Amino acid sequence: MSPIVKRKGEKFTLPSKYLLFILTILCTGMVLLTFNTTVFSGPLSSIAGYTIVPFAEGISSVGSWLANRSEELAQIRDLIAENEDLKQQIDELTIENTRLQQDRYELTNLRELYSLDAQYDEYEKTGARIIARDPGNWFYSFVINKGEQDGIAVDMNVIAGSGLVGRIVDVGSNWAKVKAIIADDSNVSAMVLSSSDTMIVSGNLKLYATGVIEFGQLIDSENMVVEGDKIVTSNISDKYLPGVLIGYISKIDQDSNNLTKSGNITPAVDFEHLEEVLVIMQLKQTITD
């Protein structure tokens, strides 16, 4: 190794590697001195106490801090891994919970359809699922997944929930379109179950926003009809089978002619959440014949 030569006019500089080496030797020597206080005493011991001890304490503190940080980092990594596992479990449980809720909802619908099927057991029926509907908040016109190949025909009655939904108005080979009784152009000949007084139930989408539809032409000369009375399809309806529940009277008003009454009906069917329906396979004309 060539010696360090200071040229004339140059400023003396010590390479960093030599400086580090010298400092290391000095630190090592001073540390050794602190371990031999019984041999060295006096001024040298005092110098070591003022220089080496704080330096050693600083190194010890830094070492302890680094060790603690290392442990904390390891714990953080473990917590992050555990958090990811918990997130995955939560996602799986959320999916499973959603599936169970959907299954329960479908089971509730099927139970309602089964109960409805039992109420009208004199009619042959087939179940169908709604696959499309017209734009809007309510099922006033929709398409089901059954058609001509399943025996579906125009004017067959459709029921769901607790009563009448509407009737088939168009049929394809494997689909059929249903117009609901809440549609603006829907009119159903109906009667009050308790008194057999007849009326016309008319669809009204704007009014249905408040949860009701309207009726009119009710002749109730003896004032027997009251709020809460059941309204069903009448025997004189040309398209609807008799005795199918439409809903319940929620409001009655005397018309200006003082001969008839009109008012509102709360439908028995929830036209906002339909998914499955039952189609009655007999036509009113066939049964009449």
Q: Tokens at residue 85, please?
A: 């596992």
pLDDT score for 144: 97
> Among the three residues 119, 146, 164, which one is the final residue of a domain in this structure?
119
Tokens 């319940």, residue?
248
| CA-only gyration radius of the chain, Å | 45
Domain total in the chain: 2
How far from chain centre, in Å, is Cα 228? 34
> Among the three residues 94, 119, 144, which one is the final residue of a domain in this structure?
119
Please state, as a whole number, how many other Cβ atoms lie within 10 Å of the Cβ of residue 265.
Answer: 23
| Residue 142 vs residues 135, 153, 169, 186: alpha-carbon distances, Å | 9, 15, 10, 14
> Among the three residues 90, 119, 148, which one is the final residue of a domain in this structure?
119
Domain range holding 194? 125-288
Q: Quote the pTM value.
A: 0.64
In a domain, 265, yes or no: yes
Print the SS3 string covering 119-188: HCCCCCEEEEEEEEECCCCCCCEEEECCCHHHCCCCCCEEEECCEEEEEEEEECCCCEEEEECCCCCCEE
pLDDT score for 38: 47
Q: How far is it, in rounded angstroms, from Cα 267 to Cα 277?
A: 16
Judgement on whether residues 159 and 224 belong to the same structural domain of the protein: yes
In a domain, 27, yes or no: yes
Regions of the chain with pLDDT less than 70: 1-21, 23-24, 26-64, 66-67, 98-111, 113-114, 288-289
In a domain, 8, yes or no: no
Q: With contact defined as beta carbons under 8 Å apart, do 197 and 216 qualify?
A: no
Tokens 């001195």, residue?
33
Q: With contact defined as beta carbons under 8 Å apart, do 108 and 139 qualify?
A: no
DSSP one-letter string for 156-167 = -EEEETTEEEEE
pLDDT score for 260: 96
Q: Tokens at residue 164, please?
A: 């009448």
pLDDT digits (tens, 9 = 90+) for 92-116: 777 777 666 665 655 566 667 667 7
pLDDT digits (tens, 9 = 90+) for 55-106: 556 655 665 676 677 777 888 888 888 888 888 888 777 777 766 666 565 5
> Bridge-partner residues for 166, per DSSP?
158, 180
Q: With contact defined as beta carbons under 8 Å apart, do 247 and 163 qualify?
A: yes
Q: With contact defined as beta carbons under 8 Å apart, do 274 and 127 qualify?
A: no
In a domain, 110, yes or no: yes
pLDDT score for 288: 58
Burial of 137 (0-12, 13-18, 19+ CB in 10 A): exposed
Judgement on whether residues 42 and 139 belong to the same structural domain of the protein: no
pLDDT score for 121: 83
Tell me which H or E stretch contains 213.
Answer: strand 213-218
In a domain, 72, yes or no: yes
pLDDT score for 34: 56
Judgement on whether residues 156 and 247 belong to the same structural domain of the protein: yes
pLDDT score for 40: 47
